[in-house]
Amino acid sequence: MDGTIVQLLVYLAATFVAALVAGVTGFAFALIAAAVWLHVLTPLETATLTISYGMIVQGYGAWKVRHALNWSRVWPFVLGGAPGAAIGALVLRWANPAHMRMGIAAFLVLYSIYSLARPELKPVRAGTLADVIVGFLGGLLGAMAGFPGILVVIWCGVRGWTKDEQRAVFQPAAVALLAMSAVALAATGSISGHVIQLFLIGLPALAVGTWAGFALYGRIEEATFRKIVLMLLLASGLFLLMSFG
């Protein structure tokens, strides 16, 4: 970003809208922010700010639903996500990330359309091992595709948990995965002074958007929440597919 007023306003507006949506649903900050930021920021700046802001939004979200927090549900995803993220970073050295993104995009689109069209099914009952596997795949695909936690969001939905219970699982898990990514960026010296400046400039827009999102979240019914999550998953898949055009 060269510092023009128009670019700065675009950056701040995208930050606010992404935080607003993430406040309502608990995810999709990276999807919305990156779609706009990449027009005014470099990919590295976008990735760094997405991770930094994502930790704040997800951390605040986890705190707001702490009454529903159950660590016995969270730790399997974190346990599986850690090696998944590490392996995903290694796989990127030889695999074609474009092909991976295409596969993930197709899965998100098909799953979302199917789930929106079908009647609500009975919750899936699974044990700790299944949660660890989902966490592993979430970390793996998050590192390779840039959208950490998508599979955890889907899995929480099919488990039939309430909206608070879902957010009390996938938001703490997302904080952990984002923290791992932040450590990796810091270790490689990818955080520049310019990014820190952008981070500070965007904080007020992030704070207001997150607050407004949570104010709306408290007024959303369970069925509506499920549809919003599925529509955003569909948007995630479509956004990834469009990026290949």
Pick from 179, 166, 173, 150: nearest CA to 217: 166
Asked if residue 23 lies in contact with residue 210, where contact means CB atoms within 8 angstroms, the answer is: yes
Q: Higher model confidence: residue 160 or residue 132?
A: 132
Residue 187 DSSP symbol:
H
Is residue 146 predicted with pLDDT exceeding 70? no
Total number of domains in the chain: 1
Question: What is the average pLDDT across 77-97?
Answer: 76
Asked if residue 244 lies in contact with residue 98, where contact means CB atoms within 8 angstroms, the answer is: yes
Question: CB neighbours (10 Å) of residue 203?
Answer: 14
Is residue 85 predicted with pLDDT exceeding 80? no
User: What pLDDT is recorded for position 214?
Assistant: 86
SS3 state of residue 146: coil
Asked if residue 76 lies in contact with residue 128, where contact means CB atoms within 8 angstroms, the answer is: yes
CA–CA distance, 19 with 196 (Å, rounded to integer): 18
User: What pLDDT is recorded for position 150?
Assistant: 75
Domain containing residue 221: 5-242
Is residue 31 predicted with pLDDT exceeding 90? no
pLDDT tens per residue across span 225-242: 778 878 877 887 787 677
User: What pLDDT is recorded for position 199?
Assistant: 93
The residue type at 99 = H
Question: What is the average pLDDT across 184-210?
Answer: 84
Task: Work out the pLDDT band at 88, boundaries 50, 70, 90.
Answer: confident
CA–CA distance, 166 with 114 (Å, rounded to integer): 20
Question: What is the average pLDDT across 216-230?
Answer: 78
User: What pLDDT is recorded for position 90?
Assistant: 72
CA–CA distance, 134 with 140 (Å, rounded to integer): 10
pTM listed for this prediction: 0.72
User: What pLDDT is recorded for position 11?
Assistant: 94
Residue 245 DSSP symbol:
-
Intra-chain end-to-end CA distance of the chain, in Å:
24
CA–CA distance, 12 with 87 (Å, rounded to integer): 34
Asked if residue 228 lies in contact with residue 221, where contact means CB atoms within 8 angstroms, the answer is: no
